[in-house]
Amino acid sequence: MIKMLNVSKRYDNGVVAVSNMNLHIKKGDFIFLVGPSGAGKSTFIKMLLKEESATTGRVIVDDLDITKLHRRRVPELRRKIGVVFQDFRLLPNKTVYENIAFAMEITEAKPRDIRKHVPMVLSIVGLADKQKMYPDQLSGGEQQRVSIARAIINNPPILIADEPTGNLDPETSKEIMKLLLQINKRGTTVLMATHDKEIVDLMKQRVIAVEKGRVVRDEVGGRYGYAD
Amino acid sequence: MRIKSLGYNIRECFKNLWRNRMMSVASISSVAATLLILGIIFVLIVNISAMTQVAKDQFDTIQVYLEDDLAISDIEDIGTEIFKLQGVKDVIFETKEEALEKMKLDWDQNGYLLDGLESNPLPNSYIVILDDINYSDYIVMSIQDTEGIEEVKYYKEVIENIITMTEAIRKVGLFIMVVLIAISTFIISNTIKIAVHARRKEINIMKYVGATNWFIRGPFLLEGIVLGLIGAGIATTLIYIGYKYSYNAIMDQFYMFISAYLIRTQVIIKDVGFLFGIIGSGIGALGSIASLRKHLRV
């Protein structure tokens, strides 16, 4: 599903964020991406989304070589990947329903399909009764659920979550993790960057640790492995 | 932008115009103000052009005076020769008797003075009417030295003055118009930039969800055009009211002959409306595309 072959990323200011990274992520994997701040996790995610391009090496996402992907085809790539952010990034002036429908409208989906799919996804994330509410009327956990619903509405093969529990309390975080695991069980490859030791140790999934732009550890059923 | 997303764009456009209504009002007034100034200049230029055209038409004749002792066949020959020249619309023969009559009429009450003349001192002449005033030099050159012609008279200086004046007014007006359009595009793009900035989160999310650039531009583009068109509508209305009022005022207070050269309100407002529509929507579209550029590079 995701392949990285000898990938390096050197920014214009000379900082080498990723150096010579090799990775293979299979379809249906659930992966924790861990490592200290500035280790290259964000650059790694940005490269998958083609927000940044690899300086050398090849990046392949869902059989699409995105190393030299034309700017025009970037939307095509991004529709393969659902993204969840730490800060939710919901539109405050749209209701829960509109926030999710928005992601479908962008793909020029039929209104009929939108009306059918949005309630379905809302019930998956357990917010069927809150579709008319605005984001500021929801709790943090609920907002993150909306953002997950938006990420999966177009059925992407990959879901990237960048510290999805960073702003949430431990109880809510566990609920969100349950939801992500449930989505993973339906066949979606999930890649989650996190600093949350407790969650990583609890879930016992494949853990990829990155330090100074290199993969230093890659183990199935791994632990967080850092002091905090 | 596919047809399917047209409904989405229109809905988004009006929703956003309403949500950012302060910004919308600012944009519309800025377009309207620019177009208003533009319109005033335009109206002035068009009217001055029309008036100079009328003035030019009054001076577009050449008078060719003939020698006194010509045979009738010679006179006719000269007439046909002149008529053959390029740019000549018509040639009218004026006998010395007719010329004297005309003079008497011109002198009006003092016309009786001419009755005392023993013989008619005025020559026979041809009045040459031109297609276009610009042919006058060429025609004068061609016939000046023809045998039997005593003198050629035309309003060279008057004509040249009118031509240079019209040209100057046109050039200055055009220059001011171009400058104004540039300024207003800048103002609009800044106004829309604020609207875009207010919605940068939305644009950012759209980029992450995989929206194409044209899809993101769509509502903003439509918004810019709608703003421009509303501004154009307001400016057109104001110009219409202002022009109608001035037109009537001039009609009432000044001599008929000035107002006869003014372009009628209904005629000018059609041109103004059309021009404003194009410039307004153009400014809006250009402004929104320019202000989005930075935000689409994610």
Query: pLDDT (tens digit, 9 = 90+) per residue, B125-148?
Result: 888 887 777 777 788 878 777 778
pLDDT band with cut points at 50, 70 and 90 for residue B1: very low
Average pLDDT on B66-87 reads 81
B180 has pLDDT over 70: yes
**Strands annotated E in chain B:** 61-66, 88-94, 125-130, 149-154
Residue of chain A nearest B19, judged by CA positions:
A93
Domain boundaries, chain A: 1-80+156-228, 92-155
Which of B5, B204, B209 is nearest residue A78 as measured by Cβ atoms? B209
What number of H helices and E strands is found in chain B?
Answer: 10, 4
Full strand arrangement of the beta sheet holding B149-154: B88-94, B125-130, B61-66, B149-154
Residue position matching structure tokens 């979606």: A188
Pairing of strands A81-84, B61-66: unpaired
Residue B289, pLDDT score: 85
What pLDDT is stored for residue B232 in this prediction? 92
- Residues of A at the B interface (Cβ-Cβ below 8 Å)? 49, 51, 72, 75-79, 83, 89, 91, 93, 102-103, 105-108, 110-111, 150, 154
Q: Would you place residue A40 in the very low, low, confident or very high pLDDT band (cuts 50, 70, 90)?
A: confident
Distance CA B31, CA B279 (A): 9
In this prediction, residue B257 carries a pLDDT of 56
Burial of B118 (0-12, 13-18, 19+ CB in 10 A): exposed
Say yes or no to pLDDT of B208 above 80. yes
Euclidean distance between CA atoms A74 and A7, whole angstroms: 19
* CATH number 3.50.80.10 is the correct assignment for the domain at A1-80+156-228: no
CB B213 within 8 A of CB B296: yes
What is residue A160's DSSP assignment? E
Predicted local confidence at residue B298, as pLDDT:
63
Alpha-carbon gap, residue B41 to B268, rounded angstroms = 13
Amino acid at B220: F
Question: Which amino acid type is present at position B175?
Answer: F
| 8 Å CB contact of B5 and A107 | no
* Least CB–CB distance from A75: residue in B8, B19, B210: B210
Which among B2, B206, B298 is the nearest to A106, CB-wise?
Answer: B206
In this structure, are residues A41 and A217 in contact, taking their beta carbons and an 8 Å threshold? no
Q: What is the pLDDT of residue B269?
A: 87
pLDDT at A112 over 70: yes
**Nearest-CA distance B215 → chain A (Å):** 7
Strand, coil or helix: B131? coil
How far is residue B33's CA from residue A204's CA, in Å, rounded to a whole number? Answer: 66
Residue B208 backbone phi and psi in degrees, to 5: -70, -30
- Pairwise CA distance, residues B114 & B103, whole Å: 9
In this prediction, residue B244 carries a pLDDT of 86
Beta-sheet pairing, A189-193 with A158-162: parallel
Q: Min CA distance, A226 vs chain B (Å)?
A: 31
What is residue A151's predicted lDDT score, i.e. its pLDDT? 94
Quick one: pLDDT band at residue B201, thresholds 50, 70, 90?
Answer: confident
Tokens representing B227?
A: 């703003």
| CA-based nearest distance A228→chain B, Å | 31
Instruction: Give the relative orientation of helices B265-292 and B156-198 as an angle to the nearest 10 degrees.
Output: 40
Contact (Cβ atoms closer than 8 angstroms) between residue B220 and residue B192: yes
Chain-centroid distance, C-alpha A61: 13
Q: Write down all domains in chain B, each with its CATH number in brackets.
A: 3-56+161-296 (no CATH), 60-154 (3.30.70.3040)
The A214-219 sheet, strands edge to edge:
A81-84, A158-162, A189-193, A30-34, A206-211, A214-219
Measured at the CA of B220, the angle between CA B14 and CA B231, to 5 degrees, comes to 65
| Average confidence (pLDDT) over A153-171 | 92
**CA–CA separation, A194 vs A206, rounded Å?**
13
Task: Report the distance separating Cα A181 and Cα A125, nearest Å.
Answer: 12
Q: Which residue has the higher pLDDT, A95 or B184?
A: A95
**3-state SS string for B6-36:** HHHHHHHHHHHHHHCHHHHHHHHHHHHHHHH
CA distance B265 to B263: 7
Q: How many Å apart are CA A20 and CA A213, to the nearest integer?
A: 8
Query: Do B209 and A49 count as a contact with CB atoms less than 8 A apart?
Result: no
Mean pLDDT in chain A? 91
Inter-chain contact A106–B4, Cβ cutoff 8 Å? no
Q: Taking a C-beta distance cutoff of 8 angstroms, is the pair B133, B56 a contact? A: yes
SS3 category, A91 = coil
CA-CA distance, B119 to B66, in Å (whole number)?
Answer: 17
Among B283, B169, B162, smallest CA distance to B230 is for B283
Residue bearing the bigger pLDDT, B41 or A165:
A165
> Using one digit for the tens of pLDDT, what is the confidence trace for A172-212?
999 999 999 999 999 999 999 999 888 999 888 999 999 98
* Backbone dihedral angles phi then psi of residue B212, each to the nearest 5 degrees: -75, 160
Q: Is the interface score ipTM higher than 0.90?
A: no
Average pLDDT of every residue of chain B: 80
pLDDT at A80: 92
pTM of the model: 0.65
Grouping H, G, I as helix, E, B as strand and the rest as coil, residue A9 is strand
A1 has a pLDDT exceeding 90: no
Of residues B262 and B237, more confidence is placed in: B237
Instruction: Please give the Cα distance from B116 to B122 (Å, whole number).
Output: 14
Q: Closest Cα partner for A191 from A225, A151, A162, A220?
A: A162
| Among candidate residues A141, A60, A159, A178, the one with its CA nearest the CA of residue A103 | A159
